[in-house]
Amino acid sequence: MSRLVGRVESVCPECLERIGAELVEDGGVVRMVKRCAEHGEFSAVVWRGEPAFSGWVRPKIPFGGGPREAVGRGCPYDCGLCARHAQRTCTALVEITSRCNLNCPVCFADSGGAGTDPDHATLARMFDQVMKRTGGCNLQLSGGEPTVRDDLPEIVGLAKSAGFGFVQLNTNGLRLAADPELAHVLAEAGLSSIFLQFDGVRDDAFRVLRGRDLFEVKNRAVENASAAGLGIVLVPTVARGVNTDQLWDIVRYGLERQPHVRGVHFQPLSYFGRYPEDFVPDHVTLPELMTGLVAQSGGIVRTADFLPPGCEHALCSFSGKYMTHEDGHLVRLGSASCDCTPKPAEAGALKSIGVTARQWSAPAQPETSPSNPDTGQGAEPLAGRGAEPRISSSPPPDNDLDRFLARARTHTFTISAMAFQDAWSLNLDRLQGCCIHVAQPDGRLVPFCAFNLTARDGRALHRGRE
């Protein structure tokens, strides 16, 4: 029997006008149901299974600091950020091009345009504006595909000169795979990490989501970035029936390539930007990712390992942090439970900025090369192809503190996910807790999901606004 579990504000997928919505639960499945006076009823699943929707909480005391735009039409129309926004910037994205060397069937940015790339003066001004408005945050260079710009190393240098300690590149990896020297040049310019599009360990997933076989290309990109000493985060777009059976295979691929692969960050497919016309909204939910990882790993990871975020809204993401020992044990690090006492949102964001920068950057003092000339495989027993990590609740008793700390500096690994919101699933309470903001040339910072929000006909709410 269905029951009402909440009322929120959302938008109509057809006209993007703000409308009310009900969250209705039936058998562990939570749907967002909304009715537009002009376009009728819409329904989308936003939570499916365990852990329970009602218990997945991490309350925060809203942050009200920083420059704010005046409230006019209200959320989500006044982003920049408006006075209703409840979180500071943790990560700022700067799109340095709209061009791309792929034409993926799904693309949140609808990349591939022929627009003019922002020049160095514009980018330098944007970097300075982000630093002034946020007081400091992590930076991601995005697009389009940033590596199509031959001046990318100079842009990384501009970002470092502006004061960003952690600069990450959002990339499909094609050019990194084709040009081994590029990764070295970017590392020398100050790049900390690559956020690598990585949809699976078989080409069937790439054919559906990217339009071509790419697995070997991704392998070369990982090898070249590793050789240059860059941190690597694998970022799968997860679509039901496409790669939901490869969740643990992707994690295992990353574990095998430690210490340079620092984690896997799953992103369920959201319907904004470019996506198939003949779709029915079918979001892969956070609990499905968690339970899928548990089942596919054979219990190596547990649902209890994954906690709601301390930075963004609880319903937006989960994460778990691990360390791999020399003997193959996978150890869950950190607290095993969430302290759900309300904490200042800004404190969570500031902590997340530091933790993310440390975890996703290049490993400190890597012990060996990722390509061992003696074995042709990864340097560690766990990293040997086919080796399965085993879970342990604590370090082995014969492991002294210094050895443990040294290992923790190089072989920690995060498994996380971010459920972006589209016009079918948008919850304005979640949007107002967003900490990932897209920087604009005029100085505004727009929450990621609001910036990429598009109506069914492709009309954007914020992207392209002057």
Identify the pLDDT of residue 365: 56
- CB-based contacts of 34: which residues, under 8 Å, 6+ apart? 10, 12, 19, 20, 21, 22, 41, 42, 43
Would you call 141 helix, strand, or coil by DSSP? Answer: strand
- Amino acid residing at 56: W
The torsion angles phi and psi of 76, rounded to 5 degrees, stand at -100, 25
For the record, the structure tokens of 109 come out as 């940015």
Least confident of 204-213, 222-231, 398-407: 398-407
The mean pLDDT of 126-133, rounded to a whole number, is: 97
* CA–CA dist 346, 200 (Å, integer): 35
Q: Which amino acid, 442? A: D
Residue type (1 letter), 144: G
Left, alpha or beta for 82 (phi > 0: left; psi -120 to 50: alpha)? Answer: beta
Using the predicted structure, report yes or no on whether residue 376 has a pLDDT greater than 70: no
Q: Is the pLDDT of residue 242 over 50?
A: yes
pLDDT of residue 383: 32
pLDDT at 321: 97
Query: Residues 396-421, buried b or exposed e (16+ Cβ, 10 A)?
Result: eeebeeeeeeebeebbbbbbbbbbbb
Q: Looking at the DSSP assignment, which residues form a beta bridge with residue 274?
A: 107
Mean pLDDT, residues 410-430: 97
Q: For residue 372, is pLDDT > 90?
A: no
**427: region left, alpha or beta (phi > 0 left; psi from -120 to 50 alpha):** beta
Q: Which helix (H) or strand (E) holds 417?
A: strand 412-418
Whether the predicted pLDDT of 264 surpasses 80: yes
Q: Point out the least confidently predicted range of 242-251, 319-328, 401-410.
A: 401-410
**CA-CA distance, 460 to 463, in Å (whole number)?**
6
CB 171 within 8 A of CB 218: no
- pLDDT > 90 in the chain, percent: 80
Specify which residues 437 forms β-bridges with.
92, 447
Amino acid at 296: Q
Model pLDDT, residue 180: 95
What integer pLDDT is reported at residue 12 of this predicted model? Answer: 98
What is the average per-residue pLDDT within 209-225? 97
- Residue 308 confidence (pLDDT) above 70: yes
d(CA 56, CA 306): 11
77-91, 156-170, 235-249, 401-415: which has the minimum mean pLDDT?
401-415
User: 338-359: per-residue pLDDT in tens?
Assistant: 777 899 999 999 999 999 999 9
Residue 360: what are its φ and ψ, rounded to 5°? -90, -5
Q: What is the mean pLDDT of the chain?
A: 90
Return the pLDDT at 384.
Answer: 32
pLDDT of residue 219 exceeding 80:
yes
Residue 399 — pLDDT band, cuts 50, 70, 90? low
Q: Which amino acid is residue 411, in one-letter code?
A: H
Which of the pair, 326 or 235, is modelled with greater confidence?
A: 235
- 397, pLDDT greater than 90: no
Confidence of residue 398 (pLDDT cuts 50, 70, 90): low
Q: Where are the domains of the chain?
A: 60-297+341-361
Q: d(Cα 98, Cα 112) in Å, to the nearest integer?
A: 6
- How confident is the model over 114-118, as a mean pLDDT? 87
From residue 88, alpha-carbon distances to 62, 225, 231, 348, 411 in Å are 9, 31, 25, 10, 30
DSSP state string for 7-19: EEEEE-TTT--EE
Beta strands in 145-259 (DSSP E): 167-171, 193-197, 231-235, 237-238
pLDDT for 87 = 97
Assign 316 a pLDDT band (cuts: 50, 70, 90). Answer: very high
Query: Nearest Cα to 433, choosing from 79, 85, 9, 71?
Result: 85
Q: pLDDT band for position 465 (50/70/90)?
A: low
This prediction's pTM: 0.92
Least confident of 59-63, 174-178, 376-380: 376-380
* Length of the chain, in residues: 466
Classify domain 60-297+341-361 by CATH number.
3.20.20.70
Mean pLDDT, to the nearest integer, of 225-250? 97
Nearest to 429 by CA among 10, 4, 3: 10
pLDDT > 70 in the chain, percent = 92
